[in-house]
Amino acid sequence: MLGRQLLRSGTSVGAHYREANRAKSNADFISKIEGALQELDETTYWLDLLSESKIGSVEELRSLVTEAEELISILVTVAKSAKRSRL
């Protein structure tokens, strides 16, 4: 169950990002990037649950959480920049 949720949220990030790159407006772009951020947040939640339940390699899960957090930082910066350019 956890693995399926992780797969769903983790792959949804890429779908939202791809949609953002095809956005019809700045507002649409921001919306899609924020959708990707929500999915990344959910992905880190599932990774945390897997880690706490001792399912999977702790090192590998830690690496995935770090990568997700790096992506969150990047997308937050992208969203903030897009919001500033909208003004």
Check residue 86 and give its pLDDT.
72
Check residue 56 and give its pLDDT.
83
Write down all domains in the chain, each with its CATH number in brackets.
2-86 (1.20.1440.60)
DSSP string, 20-65: HTT-SSHHHHHHHHHHHHHHHHHHHHHHHHHHHTT-S-HHHHHHHH
pLDDT 10s digits, 31-84: 999 999 999 999 999 999 999 998 888 899 999 999 999 999 999 999 999 999
| Alpha carbons within 13 A on the beta-carbon side of 48 | 8
